[in-house]
Structure 1
Amino acid sequence: MLDLTLITTFFLVFMRMVSFTFACPLYAIPGIPPLVKAGLSFILAVLITPMVKPVSADLPGGLWGFGLVVFSEVGVGLVLGLVCTFVFNVIRMAGQLLDFQIGFAMASVMDPLSGSVNTLVSRFLYFLTLVLFLNVDGHHVLIRALAKSYELVPLNAAGINGEVTLLIIRIFADTFALAVQICAPVVAVLVITDLAMGLVGKTAPQMNIFQLGFPLKIAVGVASLAILLPALTSVFKILFDTLEKDLYLLMKGLA
């Protein structure tokens, strides 16, 4: 005989899992077939369901009540995935600011991963972040955090309040601040380069500053980025720690 309580619990666990998988930038790569994402969510749900507090099949409100609970679990997964997207977009935004200063903004290309137009340095830093994230087993951290979410935010117990809204707004605002801080050293070097070219233009008006400036800024920007690239690994580690902390703060707020 079918255990309706177990089936209901598994279905709610699966809905939160699959919504997170489709929203998180690490697992939401368009190159991964949707069937693979759904299969991964199904396997994780099978492993996590025995550790989750069961939910009664007799939910208040009948079918409408069950639909609201499903909608709530999907919302929890999407919100957790949205926070991961904010943190990963820090690197993409920093790269776009660098491209604008270097001059690569004119060489924008269509990024099939995000479905938007991105620039060269932005794509490079984003892929580098994904590689480092996988190298430090960040995907395992996300899976553990998602499994922990069923303890911090039990099934049919999630709620949105002012604290959660302010936390999401704070995380969204921090993405801009962190992006500016990451690209600030290279931007400072490029600003100094612009000032130097301006002085050269004043002292030697016969020189074509615009023709000289484009290759010079590209060379200076790429060289500065190459010099600072080893130091960015520590920045990435800070971002990954921030992601884990924000996820736990958000789950506590949702509870």
Structure 2
Amino acid sequence: MYEVDALEVGHWISRYLFPFARIAGLLMVMPLLGTRLVPTRIRLILAIMMTLAVVPILPPFPVVDPLSVAAMVIVLQQILIGVALGFVVELLNQVFVLAGQLIAMQTGLGIATTVDPSQGASVVVISQWLLFLVSLVFLSLNGHLVLIGIMIDSFFRLPVGFEGLGPDAFASIVQWGSWMFAAALVISLPALTALLVVNLAFGVMTRAAPQLNIFSLGFPVTMIVGLFILWLTLSEMASGFQGLMEEVFTFTRKLTG
């Protein structure tokens, strides 16, 4: 009669526990699925289903007692890897949120705020509108499927073990924050430049005709011009999002390689 010992049972548990930790960490922070709009139970079910589908093709894991300190260290490392992958891709959405805030401050629309249901925070309307736009583009380009594929490939590039992401990887993630601000500035630069020209024109008009009420005239004109420039650059933002998404996915592959 075949008997199952405790070590073999522990190996079976760890076989599914370690990949589940990395997948769950990704689903906690990745765009769309990691927001408050998706219930925790849905993310848990997705993580379990993905784990059951992925485990048969994964390389062998180290034999570790799932109740030991070593197993807890490995689980924490896997959660950090998943969170790091999802966090880097989430920065892509924050690029357009920041760009919307820059445009709103220059157009005078910064006073128009709304509550972001995905984050539970108050953001300007332009940022929320751009966030909806890039979320739809992200889904249309199958960005969520590409991210899941990168996560599965990370099990081969960075196998489950006692070695996780090194200090260089976390340093590169921190430096990636500067990329977010630079990309947001590039996206909002056409609107900011046009509004700067409008403000200079109003400055010249005020100098030439001091009796002109610049506040009652300049505020609505600035908003109209800002919305018009935003409409003109809308198609370029969608194509620019695709280029930025490719940069982000390239970085995530290097992060686990």
TM-score in terms of structure 2 length:
0.93
The residue aligned with 1:7 is: 13
State how far apart, in whole Å, the 2-side matches of 1:160 and 1:8 are: 20
Q: 2:138 aligns with which of 110, 133, 141?
A: 133
Cα deviations across residues 178-236 of structure 1 (Å, max 9, x unaligned)? 00000001100000000011111111222210111111011000000101111122201
Q: 1:25 aligns with which of 31, 50, 54?
A: 31
Any idea what SS the aligned residue of 1:214 has?
helix
2:76 pairs with 1:71: yes
Q: When the two structures are aligned, how many residues end up with a matched partner?
A: 251
Q: 2:222 aligns with which of 207, 217, 220?
A: 217
State how far apart, in whole Å, the 1-side matches of 2:60 and 2:43 are: 25
State how far apart, in whole Å, the 2-side matches of 1:224 and 1:58 are: 59
State how far apart, in whole Å, the 1-side matches of 2:223 and 2:41 are: 43
The residue aligned with 2:185 is: 180
State how far apart, in whole Å, the 1-side matches of 2:170 and 2:77 are: 16
Unaligned runs of 5+ in 1: none
The residue aligned with 1:106 is: 111
Q: Check 1:59–1:6 CA distance in 2 against 1; reply closer, same or farther (3 A cut).
A: closer
Cα deviations across residues 74-113 of structure 1 (Å, max 9, x unaligned)? 1111111111122221111111111111111111222221
Any idea what SS the aligned residue of 2:56 has?
helix
Unaligned runs of 5+ in 2: none
Q: 1:47 aligns with which of 46, 53, 57?
A: 53
Any idea what SS the aligned residue of 1:247 has?
helix
Cα deviations across residues 124-180 of structure 1 (Å, max 9, x unaligned)? 111100000101111110110111111111112443434213311221110000000
Answer yes or no: is the 8 Å Cα contact 2:25–2:79 preserved in 1.
yes
Answer yes or no: is the 8 Å Cα contact 1:12–1:70 preserved in 2.
yes
TM-score in terms of structure 1 length:
0.93
State how far apart, in whole Å, the 2-side matches of 1:165 and 1:56 are: 24
Answer yes or no: is the 8 Å Cα contact 1:91–1:125 preserved in 2.
yes
- Over the matched positions of the two proteins, sequence identity in percent amounts to 27
Instruction: Give the superposed CA RMSD.
Output: 1.6
Please tell me the residue identity of whatever aligns with 1:84: V
The residue aligned with 2:85 is: 80
Please tell me the residue identity of whatever aligns with 1:14: F
